[in-house]
A = this chain, B = another copy of it.
């Protein structure tokens, strides 16, 4: 199978269509890169771009996208609902096929160096992090754009690349490498948010639950039910079905039924095939038995 890497840069413009198109065009222009999606969000004033392709081409595309975002976005006037610290806010790389995490970390460093050379402070995060306290994106981004003018002066926040001085126009950028994230929610047959909250706390890592699960309770106002909303940050090690069964098990304690689940956005085939393999008790299953896998070879 061909070497394939996914990159999901988020940039801080979700309202001005003309600017958004100009930035996304930089991806369209590069051969051997497939633009899977780009989702401008007006409330967040932010656009999430999903691209996939061979590592060199993806690198070229995301560098060009970053240069264009640096040119066209002015953070001094940016407002929006989503935490952010820069024009090109985050650039995560994810291995898809025939690419190791080490190669994605290398890619993150190479791209980080180029972005740094544009005069933008760069922080490596997740698997590419240079220190444990930079692994978690939320920790890196804490204080956001506005807070970074002060934060960057601290010894512990010397950037991995670029100047140790805030870039007022472009902010700073986090560049990382991580396994594909699966956004997976389980809907419960109750309107009691405290139950979803209690379950989320039990199943997530920080509460003593599964190693690669982050989760919170949410209310779905329209349906008058609650939801355990999860991010599975390593579906190969903490399988989707395991998180599902654990929510179900905890829900039983409250006599609350599981109404259904939701998979949000794009997921790798394997994340769901693992569930089929588990529930159908398939012996000696090989992913190469999947027709579509063979077609991608």
Residues of A within 8 A of B (CB): 4, 6, 34, 36, 52, 96, 180, 187, 240-241, 244, 258-263, 265-269, 272-277, 279-285, 289-296
Partner of A272, one of B6, B276, B295: B276
Pick the 3 closest A-B CB pairs, nearest first.
A275-B276, A272-B276, A279-B279
Beyond A240-B280, A273-B273, A279-B275, whether A292 also contacts B293 by CB under 8 A is yes
In the assembled complex, the Cα of A34 lies from the Cα of B294 at a distance in Å of 10
Q: Do B244 and A268 touch across chains, with their CB atoms under 8 A apart?
A: no
8 A–B pairs (Cβ distance < 8 Å), ordered by A: A52-B295, A187-B283, A240-B280, A261-B281, A267-B291, A273-B273, A275-B275, A275-B276
What residues of B have a CB within 8 angstroms of the CB of A6 in the complex? 291
Shortest CB-to-CB span from A226 to chain B, Å, is: 15
Of listed A244, A265, A269, residue having the most chain B CB within 10 A: A269
The distance in angstroms between the C-alpha atoms of A92 and B266, with both chains bound, is: 33
State the CA gap A295–B52 with chains docked (Å).
Answer: 8
In the complex, chain B residues whose CB is within 8 Å of the CB of A261: 280-283
A97 to B267, CA, bound (A): 20
Contact (Cβ within 8 A) A263 B282: yes
Which residues on the B side are within 8 Å of A289 (C-beta)?
A: 263, 265-267
Residue contact A290 to B266, C-beta cutoff 8 Å: yes
Q: Using CB atoms, name the residue of chain B closest to A241.
A: B280
Interfacial chain B residues near A283, Cβ < 8 Å: 187, 260-262
* CB atoms of A285 and B269 under 8 A apart: no
Contact (Cβ within 8 A) B280 A292: no
Q: Are B275 and A262 in contact (CB under 8 A)?
A: no
